[in-house]
Structure 1
Amino acid sequence: VPGPLQVEYYTQRAGAGLILTEGTMIEKVGSEWSNAPGIYTDEQVNGWRKVLDSVHARQSFMYLQLWHVGRVAHPLLQDGRPSVGPSAIGANGGKFRQLPGAPGYVVPEAIEDPTSYIELYRKAAERAKEAGFDGVELHSANGYLPHQFIDNTSNKRTDEWGGSVENRCRFPLRVIDELCSVYGNNRVGIKLSPGGGYNDMGMSEKDTSETFGYLIQELSTRRIAYIQLARYWDLGDPLKRGIEVDVFQWKKLINSEHTALLVNTNYNAEEGEKTLQAGLADAIVFGRFYIANPDLAERLI
């Protein structure tokens, strides 16, 4: 539940034009971390409302990042309930260092009905709107649940939710449609990490290009507010499962009149400015620099 610390933290960073929150759980199950924030109870909504009131008083905007980690959760972090994924395929390489013995990933239960999780995202968006968020972002990157449906190494389903590119992209697109039904297209964004790597994700270069080309084109037709593309991060890929990909290869698929292209991962001020000046992206997203520097926007102006 967000409290006074979160009010102070986000208010300190309200110099940003748009704040994207930390990953926020859509149900009690589905976190990699202890004490992660949520948006599934009235108490959480009320806590976030206080954060929003303070941020809005400083004339900033704030989107809630909707988060479910799927197969990379651990039962010990969710009252013994199993982790879930599109298929019963566990990820490799991770350790839950906050748990006794630092256990690794477990084999998840295959989700029987993906529409039940799509409904969870919709309900979370409704609660976000009740709290006062200006919009929502679907966290569909970093090997979390929507990404697990997209990637053909974690999704081996043989029904309408797996197999072809269209079927594997069905889950995130259906979630986006539900979020748009709550907020309107121009208040919904999505985060993607095409190069994979983190949390044991990684398709071939050919499959990556085809899959994300289709997905980004479909997202553009929905005229959502933005598509955020994360560059490949080698330090987050100890198993070297991911690949270096040029995230700008998909820019031509995005209708810039309606949908902005945001990029992130290891940008500094100089590279970010060059990227914007070259017309490659519409905005640069900073994470770690903003954690360390609450006045980052003022420093860069």
Structure 2
Amino acid sequence: MSSSSSTHKDTEKDVKQEDEEPLDMSILFQPLQLGSVTLSNRIGMSAMSRNRADPKRIPSNLMKKYYLQRALGGAGLIISEATLISNHGAQFDRAPGIWNTEQVAGWRKITNVVHLAGCKMYCQLWHLGRLSPPDEDGKIYSPSPIRATGDKHGFHYLLGDLEFRLPTEIEDPWVFVQLFKAAAVNAKAAGFDGVELHGAAGFLVHQFLDTSANARTDSWGGSPSNRCRFGLEVLKALVDVFGPNVGVKLAPTGGFNDTGMPLPETLATYRHFIAEADKLGLAYICVHRHNPHKDPSINGKRRGTPHDCVASYAPQLASPGTKLWIVGGVTPKEAAALVRSGRVAGVFFGIPWLAHPDLAKRIRHGKNLDNLVAMPYLYGDVQAGVDPRVGYTDYPSVTY
């Protein structure tokens, strides 16, 4: 492909260019001890669903090429796309899983080449909770039988659904804790350096944290400490498998998939969660900043609670081993300033990595981030028979 602009139509800019003089980015390329491994730099690639696994949710050879491109592009740490811990289903029909040996073998091919490129890789463990399609028994599982508000998306359209269905209350949350632990065992067998618990975006862990989805009156709901219990028990189970090489992604500002609480309740919940998670000896805690694009107006009102996540939660981290990372629309210039100030240890980029397989190298060498994101092909388009490489592995790098 000669240029992204000539091939990718109906696109949008992923990063605004800075008008000021170039900023010294060297701070982003200092090594960082994370758990028991050393990262080559502070630039991470966040988890992003791309929907290119095979029909059995086994990671594909095309996925291997995609991750290798970005490992060669200088990422210090790659987080896999959200990876299903069970066959309960996902909003995308080709999201990968990690519950059987075939999937483990597919992931091992990917971690092998990522490591050969000098990069570290974590697997993000994912359960959708009330956002799942129904399982083979027709059930959808959630902390409480509370239907999410808003339009359905992705795989749900294939089911003919326009709205979320009413979920079934999880009778025994320990069953799901064990599902996460089994997935971590598989992730270790697949060669991942660690695992990241998906505690954001309105999925299962987030649902336990948020009163919009958790109305339980037992020891898994009610008070902030009770609502935090599920996520903390999952983290303990993951630490049993991976030791210090465990992270968690949180979205305190809400807005994702019909989540969000008033600010006092939000602060009480997430300050408790982060303080307790810090005691477990994790590698990092990543907080997702408020993103208005992921906080749609529902019935004329946004659910999110914008606030400064770094200022609000950094004081809860007392362990020198647990690093604070941030994600959510961070520019390279802002990333360098945040790391230099000591407010965060590292920064995850999302959309910029999609269109720039050499993102970290571009930042290091002062190159423009001028590729265009092929928005219609973020999740592929298997139904239409579109070449899955389009908008996935066909973005150009620059010459160094």
Q: Normalising by the residue count of structure 2, what TM-score does the alignment of the two structures yield?
A: 0.73
Superposition deviation, residue 207 in structure 1: 0.1
Task: For 1:12, give the aligned amino acid.
Answer: Q
Query: What pairs with 1:178-257 in structure 2 (closer than 5 Å)?
Result: 178-184=237-243, 186-238=244-296, 239=298, 240-248=302-310, 249-255=312-318, 257=320
Aligned length, in residue pairs: 298
What corresponds to 1:261 in structure 2?
A: 324
Alpha-carbon displacement from aligned partner over 1:108-140 (angstroms, at most 9, x marks no partner):
010010000000000000000001000000000
Verify the 8 A CA contact 1:30 1:83 in the aligned structure 2: no
Partners of 2:288 and 2:328 lie apart in 1 by 6
Partners of 1:211 and 1:3 lie apart in 2 by 39
Alpha-carbon displacement from aligned partner over 1:241-299 (angstroms, at most 9, x marks no partner):
01101101210111251100000001111111111122211111011111111100100
Partners of 1:208 and 1:180 lie apart in 2 by 26
What corresponds to 2:94 in structure 1?
A: 35
Partners of 2:171 and 2:63 lie apart in 1 by 36
Computing the radius of gyration from Cα coordinates, the structure with the larger value is: 2
Verify the 8 A CA contact 1:193 1:231 in the aligned structure 2: yes
Change (3 A) 1:44 1:97: closer
Q: In the alignment, does 2:139 pair up with 1:139?
A: no
Alpha-carbon displacement from aligned partner over 1:84-113 (angstroms, at most 9, x marks no partner):
100000110132355244522111010010
Partners of 1:16 and 1:231 lie apart in 2 by 21
Q: After TM superposition, where is structure 1 displaced by more than 3 Å over at least 4 residues in a row?
A: 78-81
Deviation larger for 171-180 or 158-167: 158-167
Q: In the alignment, does 2:115 pair up with 1:56?
A: yes
Verify the 8 A CA contact 2:279 2:319 in the aligned structure 1: no
Verify the 8 A CA contact 1:97 1:103 in the aligned structure 2: no
Verify the 8 A CA contact 1:202 1:241 in the aligned structure 2: yes
Residue 169 of structure 1 aligns to a residue whose secondary structure is helix
Task: For 1:72, give the aligned amino acid.
Answer: L
What corresponds to 2:149 in structure 1?
A: 92
Q: 2:348 aligns with which of 282, 285, 288?
A: 285
Change (3 A) 1:59 1:220: same
> Identity of counterpart residues, as a percentage?
42
What corresponds to 1:175 in structure 2?
A: 234
What corresponds to 2:180 in structure 1?
A: 121
What corresponds to 1:83 in structure 2?
A: 140
- Structure 2: tracts of 5 or more residues without a match: 1-57, 365-400
Task: For 2:268, give the aligned amino acid.
Answer: E
- Structure 1: tracts of 5 or more residues without a match: none
Partners of 2:177 and 2:350 lie apart in 1 by 27
Verify the 8 A CA contact 2:91 2:154 in the aligned structure 1: no
| Larger RCO of the pair (alpha carbons < 8 Å, separation 6+) | 2
Verify the 8 A CA contact 1:146 1:172 in the aligned structure 2: yes
Partners of 1:94 and 1:263 lie apart in 2 by 28
Partners of 1:132 and 1:254 lie apart in 2 by 29
Deviation larger for 224-233 or 94-103: 94-103
Verify the 8 A CA contact 2:92 2:154 in the aligned structure 1: no
Verify the 8 A CA contact 2:202 2:256 in the aligned structure 1: yes
